[in-house]
Amino acid sequence: MTAPDSNAAQIAAAAAAANALPPAADERPEWTPRAEMTVLNREIPRLDGPQKVTGRARYTHDVRLPGMVYARLVVTPYARADVGRISLTAARKVPGVVYAETVKADDEGVRYQGYDGILVVVAAETPEAAEDGVRAVRAKVTPLRPPLVTPEQALADGAPQITRRGNVSSESSRGDSDAAAAALEGCDAVVEATYTLPVQHHVCLETHGCVVDYRGGDSATVYHSSQYVTGGPQEFAQYLELPRGNVRVICEHMGGGFGSKFGAGTEGLLACQTAKALGRPVHLMLTREDEFLMAGNRSGSKQRMVGGATKDGKLRALLVEADRLGGVGQGSLPTPPYIYDVETSWSRLRSVHTATDSNRAQRSPGHPQASFAMESLVDELAYALSIDPLAMRLANLSDPVYHRQLQRAAREIGWDAHPHKTAHGAPDADGRALGIGFGVSTWGSSSRPDAIVEVRIHPDGSLEVSNAVQDIGQGSRTLVAAIVAEEFGLPVSAVTPRIGDSSLPTSVYSGGSITTGSVAPAVKDAAFNARTALAARVATALGVEPDTLVFRGGRVEVRDDPSVGMSWKGACALLGGDPLTASGKYRDHLHGERVHGAQAAKVSVDVLTGRVRVLRMVCVQDQGIPFNRMALRSQINGGLIQALSYGLFEERVIDPIHGVMLSDDLEAYKIAGAQEMPEFTVILDDDDDRQAAMGMAEAPNIPGHGAIANAVYNACGVRVRDMPLTPDKILTKWLEMQR
Amino acid sequence: MSEPKPPSGAPRDPSRRAFLRGALAAGAITQTLSKVEAALAEPTVDPSAAASADDEVATLAGKVPVTLSINGRDTKLSIEPRTTLLSALRVHADPPLTGTKEVCAQGNCGACTVLLDGRPVYACLQLAIDVQGRAIRTVEGLGTPEALSPVQAAFCEHDALMCGFCTPGFVVATTACLEKNPSASLDEIKHELSGNLCRCGTYPHVFAAALDAGARLGGEPRKDAR
C-alpha cells in the first residue's frame, strides 16, 4: 500500500461508509469517445501471444490426462455402400487396443459420405496402437453405384433418394419472372451466364474433436475445440447421460473453427460413449483425412443468371436460378440480387442434395458464392456497355458508404492511372497481362443478448474479467481485458481475462461475427458497474462526489483537481477483505449492426502458363469502434487470404464413379501458402464513426475471389465463370479467344 | 539397444479398405483411379470363409530405449521403432512437449517443424529412433513466455498469430531462416516459410515479424529486386 493511502482506520471507515451508499445513479454505460481512449482503438498485442509463440498454449489436441486413451475412427471412403460383416476380433487382439466397437447396426449401410461413413471406433493406449487397431478391422464394404456425389447423378431419373426431403428441397422464389423478363427487353446489354463454385473446406488446422475426462462417477470435464463453450455442457451431458450441471466444458485455445465447430458432432458422441464404456479419459481428434470427409464445408453453388442494364449503367433486370450444393445439408445462398440494386428481379433457389458431407456454416455462409456471381455479372455488363466497372458499381449501390469505400480502394490500387478501364488489356511481350478488379461486401454483424460478464476487483489491486467466451483466433481474450482496462485507466496487462470455460458466466457462440457485438457490451456494462461501485467508495474516502472522479493513468482522481485522488491500489485497498464483484449484461445501445467493405485486386496473368498471380489486394473495411486495430488488420488479412485461396486453389474433388474423395489431404486440397501472398493494403475505415461494438470477421472474406476473377478479365479478357481460377481454365479460354 | 522382435509371420494382406486408402494416398489421380479399379476388380473374399484368417493379427511389437537430445537435455524414452519424432515429443515424452503441433501428420503443412542440428524438419516425417545423437530444438526450447526469443517477441508485437495452431511451426521455421541469414529479404523469407501453412491468414504479419526479428538479430534485411 502506498503512503498517501496508508491510514488504515480512515480506509476502514470509508469502506464502511461506502457499503451504506445507495446503488449507483441510473446513468448508463457509454463507449468512451474514440479520441479519449487510452487502451482501445489502438494496437493491442494479444495477451495470449507469449503462450502461443512458445508452445505453452494448451489446445484440446494437447490435453494429456492420467489413464487417457486415444480413439480413432474407421471410416469408409465410399459415399454410399453396403456394409457386410465387420470383424473386430483381430483389432481387439492388437496390443494396446482397449476398445473396438461398431457404430453401425447390422445391415446398416452407408448413405452418405461423412458421419454416416463411420463404421468402428477403436481406442488404445497410444495413437500408434489405435492406428494398428484401425488397420486390423475387417469390414466387407461394397460401394454402391452411382455414388450420387454430383448434382447430375442426384437429379437423374430414377436416382435413389438421398435425404428424407428427397434429392431437391427448400425451393423458394422471389419476384415476378414475367416482369423481370419484360424488363430485359428494354436493356442495352444483356448477359446470360452460369457461375459455379466448388465445395470449399474450412481446413481448421486443429481438427475437430474433444478429450472427454470421465473416470466413472457422476461428473465429467470435456476439453473441446469449440466455437460455443457455453453450449457444450448440454450436448455432452446428454451423451454422457449425466446431469447438465455436472459437465464442464473447457476450451482454453482452439486451432480454428471458421463456422464448423459449434457442436460436439458425432465424434463428440463417440468419444463420450467410449469414455463411458471404459471409465477412462478419451482423446478423440479427427485425422486430417477424417476432417475432410466429415467436418463440414462451404456449400457449392451453381447460379444461372440473366442480367440486363441500360447504357446509363443501371441494372434493370435480373433472373436467377440457383442451386445450393450442400451435400445432405441445405447449403446456403443469400437471395439475389445480393448487394446491388436491380430494378426488377426474379430468383428461384433450391437445394440439390448429394450423398456427401453436409455443409456447415463457413465464414460468411453463402455470401462468397453470391458475391462471385453478382460481381462477375455486374462486371460483364459493364464491359458489354463499355462502362468503367467502378462507375458501374457506384451507379447501382445506393448506400453512400460503398461510394466512399470503393473510391478509396480504387485510389489505393491505382485505378485512375490504369491504362484499360472499359475494355480488357493484352499481355506484354513476355505473355503477362496486368488487371484490376473490384468487389463489395456486407454483413449484418448482429448480436445475441445472452452474455453475462463478471468483473472482480481484488483488494490487492488485481482485476479479473470472466465470461465463458472462446477465443477462436479473433482475439476475444485480449478484447475483454482491454475493455476493462480502458474503463479503469489501466494497462491491458493489469487485467486477467478468464474465458473458455463453461463454468464461467454465460457467453455466446462465435459465429456470424456476433462475438464482439454481443460480448463487448456486456463487458463494458460489468466494468461500468464495477467502476461505479468502486468510485462510490473512493468518493466517500476523499469526501467528494462520485461523479467528479475519473480513473486514469493508474489513479482515481477528481477530474478537475488531480491532486485529490489516490492510486489504483489505494482505491482497491478500500475494499477491505473482500473483492468487489460486479456483473454486467448485454446492452443493446452499445452494439451496432451492419458493416460494408470494398476490395480491389491487382493481378498478373501469364497467358503462356495460365497462372494467375495476385499482386495486391486492397480492403477498406468499416467496423464500428476499432477496438484492437492490430487484431482487426489480422482478421481482414485472413478474410482476404481465404478468398484468394478459394478463388485460385480450393476445390473438393470426389471421384464420380466410386464416390471416393480424392482431395482428402493438404497435398491434393491446396490452400494458399507464403509464396502466393500478394501485398496487402488494409484500411480501417475511420470515417465510420458509429460508437458501437460490432464484429466484422465475415465481411472481408466475401468479395476477394470475385475481385480477382474480375481482375483476370480486365487483364486479358479471359472470363472464368467457374471457380477456382486454375491455369487449365485460363489457358483453355485464352486459346479459344485466339482462334 | 535391443533389436525389435521379428514378425511372427509374413505381413498379412491389408484389408481391402486399408488398401484402397493407401492407394488413394499414393499419387496421381489417374494412377489412383486405376488402382481403385483394379482393387474393385478383385474377387470379393467371403468373410465367413475367411473368418479365421480375418480374426488373426500379426503384430510387430516391442519397445526400444531411445535417447533424444531435446532442447539441450537428454531425454530417455521407451518407444516402438516406428514412432515418429512428432509422436515421441507430443505423446511419449514425459512430460509431453505439445508445442509442436500435429495438423496433417504427413509432411504437408509444417505445423510440426522442429530444428534438427539447426535445420528445419517436419517431425512427422522423422522416426524418433533415427534422430538419436542429433540436436533437436522445439518451440519450447527457443524461449519462454517470460523470456521470449527475438523471433517470438516479434511475432507477438506484429500480431503474427491468430488461432495460434500453426504458430509454433512458423516460429521454428522463421528461427531457422534467420539463424541462417538474418538479412533475409521478404522474398527469401517467403521461400523459407513456404513449407508452412496457416489458415487464419497470418502470413503478412509473419513476414513483418520475420523482417523485424532479422533486424534484431543483427541482420540488415535486403530489399528484393522488383
Does the N-terminal peptide bond of residue A23 adopt cis geometry, omega within 30 degrees of 0? no
Chains A, B: CB contacts under 8 A, how many?
243
Q: What is the pLDDT of residue B25?
A: 39
CA gap A464, A497 in Å, rounded:
6
Q: Is the pLDDT of residue A4 over 70?
A: no
What are the chain B neighbours of A87 within 8 Å (beta carbons)?
47, 51, 54-55
What are the chain B neighbours of A62 within 8 Å (beta carbons)?
90, 96, 98
Nearest C-alpha of chain B: how many angstroms from A165? Answer: 31
CA gap B114, B176 in Å, rounded:
9
Q: What is the pLDDT of residue A685?
A: 98
List the single best residue of B200, B207, B223, B226 to mutate versus A (max A Cβ within 10 A): B200
Q: Do residue A138 and residue B54 have CB atoms under 8 angstroms apart?
A: yes
Nearest C-alpha of chain A: how many angstroms from B134? Answer: 21
Beta bridge partners of B7: none
Topology of A300-445+593-738 in CATH?
A: Aldehyde Oxidoreductase; domain 4 (3.30.365)
Q: Is the pLDDT of residue A612 over 50?
A: yes
List the single best residue of B46, B78, B162 to mutate versus A (max A Cβ within 10 A): B162
**A593 near B CB under 8 A:** no
Q: Do residue A666 and residue B155 have CB atoms under 8 angstroms apart?
A: no
Q: Do residue A473 and residue B166 have CB atoms under 8 angstroms apart?
A: no
Q: Do residue B163 and residue A254 have CB atoms under 8 angstroms apart?
A: yes
Q: What is the pLDDT of residue A603?
A: 98
Q: Do residue B14 and residue A61 have CB atoms under 8 angstroms apart?
A: no
The model's pLDDT over B86-133, given as tens digits with 9 standing for 90+, comes to 999 999 999 999 999 999 999 999 999 999 999 999 999 999 999 999
Task: Please state, for a pLDDT cut of 70, what percent of chain B lies above it.
Answer: 74
Q: Is the pLDDT of residue B222 over 70?
A: yes
CA distances from A353 to A164, A552, A561, B214 (A): 11, 59, 70, 52
The model's pLDDT over B130-161, given as tens digits with 9 standing for 90+, comes to 999 999 999 999 999 999 999 999 999 999 99
Q: Do residue A205 and residue B101 have CB atoms under 8 angstroms apart?
A: yes
Burial class (CB within 10 angstroms; exposed 0-12, middle 13-18, buried 19+) of A422 = middle
Q: Do residue B55 and residue A53 have CB atoms under 8 angstroms apart?
A: no
What are the chain A neighbours of B104 within 8 Å (beta carbons)?
288, 665-666
| Structure confidence at residue A479 as a pLDDT band (50, 70, 90) | very high
Q: Is the pLDDT of residue B13 over 50?
A: no
For B145, the closest chain A residue by CA position comes to A50
A629-648 and A704-716 helices, crossing angle to 10°: 50
**Segment among A179-188, A366-375, A453-462, B59-68 with least mean pLDDT:** B59-68
Do the bridges between strand A452-457 and strand A580-585 make them parallel or antiparallel, or are there none, so unpaired? antiparallel
The separation between CA B71 and the C-alpha centre of its own chain, rounded to angstroms, equals: 17
Q: Do residue B140 and residue A54 have CB atoms under 8 angstroms apart?
A: yes
Question: Where is pLDDT greater, at B24 or A174?
Answer: A174
Q: Do residue A93 and residue B17 have CB atoms under 8 angstroms apart?
A: no
Task: Please state, for a pLDDT cut of 90, what percent of chain A lies above it.
Answer: 96
> Average pLDDT, stretch B1-19?
39
Nearest C-alpha of chain B: how many angstroms from A521? Answer: 23
The model's pLDDT over A418-466, given as tens digits with 9 standing for 90+, comes to 999 999 999 999 999 999 999 999 999 999 999 999 999 999 999 999 9
3-state secondary structure of A184: helix
> Average pLDDT, stretch A506-523?
97
Q: For B145, which of A56, A258, A633 is closest by C-beta distance?
A: A56
Which of A445, A495, A429, A351 has the alpha carbon at shortest distance from A635? A445
Q: Is the pLDDT of residue A7 over 60?
A: no
Question: What is the ipTM, given to two decimal places?
Answer: 0.95
List the single best residue of A54, A128, A131, A293 to mutate versus B (max B Cβ within 10 A): A54
What is chain A's mean pLDDT, rounded? 95
| Cβ–Cβ < 8 Å for A133, A94 | yes
Q: What is the pLDDT of residue A6?
A: 39
| Structure confidence at residue A538 as a pLDDT band (50, 70, 90) | very high
Q: Do domains A3-58+446-590 and A63-159 have the same CATH topology?
A: no
CA gap B130, A292 in Å, rounded:
31
B-facing residues of A in 30-89 (CB < 8 A) are: 43, 45-46, 48-59, 61-62, 64, 70, 74, 76-77, 84-85, 87, 89
Q: What is the pLDDT of residue B53?
A: 63
For A91, the closest chain B residue by CA position comes to B57
Q: Do residue A93 and residue B14 have CB atoms under 8 angstroms apart?
A: no
Extract the C-alpha cell encoding B13: 494382406
For B149, the closest chain A residue by CA position comes to A54
Question: Where is pLDDT greater, at B222 or A20?
Answer: B222
Nearest C-alpha of chain B: how many angstroms from A108? Answer: 17
Contacts of B111 (CB under 8 A, 6+ apart): A205, B100, B101, B102, B103, B104, B165, B166, B168, B169, B196, B197
Nearest C-alpha of chain A: how many angstroms from B113? Answer: 12
Which superfamily does A63-159 belong to?
Answer: Aldehyde oxidase/xanthine dehydrogenase, a/b hammerhead (3.90.1170.50)
What are the chain B neighbours of A135 within 8 Å (beta carbons)?
14-15, 18
List the single best residue of B15, B56, B90 to mutate versus A (max A Cβ within 10 A): B15
**Segment among A340-344, A499-503, B31-35, B177-181 with least mean pLDDT:** B31-35
For B161, the closest chain A residue by CA position comes to A49
The model's pLDDT over A149-161, given as tens digits with 9 standing for 90+, comes to 999 999 999 999 9
**A104 near B CB under 8 A:** no
> Average pLDDT, stretch A664-670?
97
Q: What is the pLDDT of residue A196?
A: 98
3-state secondary structure of A488: helix
A232-240 and A265-278 helices, crossing angle to 10°: 40
Could you name the CATH architecture of A3-58+446-590?
Answer: 2-Layer Sandwich (3.30)
| Structure confidence at residue B225 as a pLDDT band (50, 70, 90) | low
The model's pLDDT over B185-201, given as tens digits with 9 standing for 90+, comes to 999 999 999 999 999 99
| Structure confidence at residue A26 as a pLDDT band (50, 70, 90) | low
Instruction: Based on DSSP, count helices (H) and strands (E) in chain B, helices before strands.
Output: 8, 5
User: Interior CA angle at B211 toward B209 and B214, to 5°?
Assistant: 105
Could you state, in order of their start, the residue ranges of all structural domains in chain A?
A: 3-58+446-590, 63-159, 300-445+593-738
Q: Do residue A56 and residue B99 have CB atoms under 8 angstroms apart?
A: yes
Q: Do residue B165 and residue A671 have CB atoms under 8 angstroms apart?
A: no
Q: Do residue A49 and residue B161 have CB atoms under 8 angstroms apart?
A: yes
For A78, the closest chain B residue by CA position comes to B17
Q: What is the pLDDT of residue B56?
A: 75
A159 Rama sector, left if φ>0, alpha if ψ -120 to 50, beta otherwise: beta
Q: Is the pLDDT of residue A716 over 60?
A: yes
List the single best residue of B199, B205, B223 to mutate versus A (max A Cβ within 10 A): B199
What are the chain B neighbours of A89 within 8 Å (beta carbons)?
54-55
For B170, the closest chain A residue by CA position comes to A53
Q: What is the pLDDT of residue B62?
A: 87
| Structure confidence at residue B226 as a pLDDT band (50, 70, 90) | low
For B41, the closest chain A residue by CA position comes to A142
Nearest C-alpha of chain B: how many angstroms from A661? Answer: 9
| Structure confidence at residue B220 as a pLDDT band (50, 70, 90) | confident
Find cell 487502451 and name the residue.
A39
Q: Do residue B162 and residue A630 have CB atoms under 8 angstroms apart?
A: no
Q: Do residue A61 and residue B101 have CB atoms under 8 angstroms apart?
A: yes
Q: What is the pLDDT of residue A106?
A: 87
Q: Is the pLDDT of residue A12 over 50?
A: no
List the single best residue of A205, A515, A646 to mutate versus B (max B Cβ within 10 A): A205
| Structure confidence at residue B224 as a pLDDT band (50, 70, 90) | confident
Q: Do residue A94 and residue B14 have CB atoms under 8 angstroms apart?
A: no
The model's pLDDT over A96-141, given as tens digits with 9 standing for 90+, comes to 999 999 999 988 999 999 999 999 999 999 999 999 999 999 999 9
**A141 near B CB under 8 A:** yes
For B92, the closest chain A residue by CA position comes to A126
Q: For A638, which of B82, B97, B200 is closest by C-beta distance?
A: B200
Nearest C-alpha of chain A: how many angstroms from B53? Answer: 9
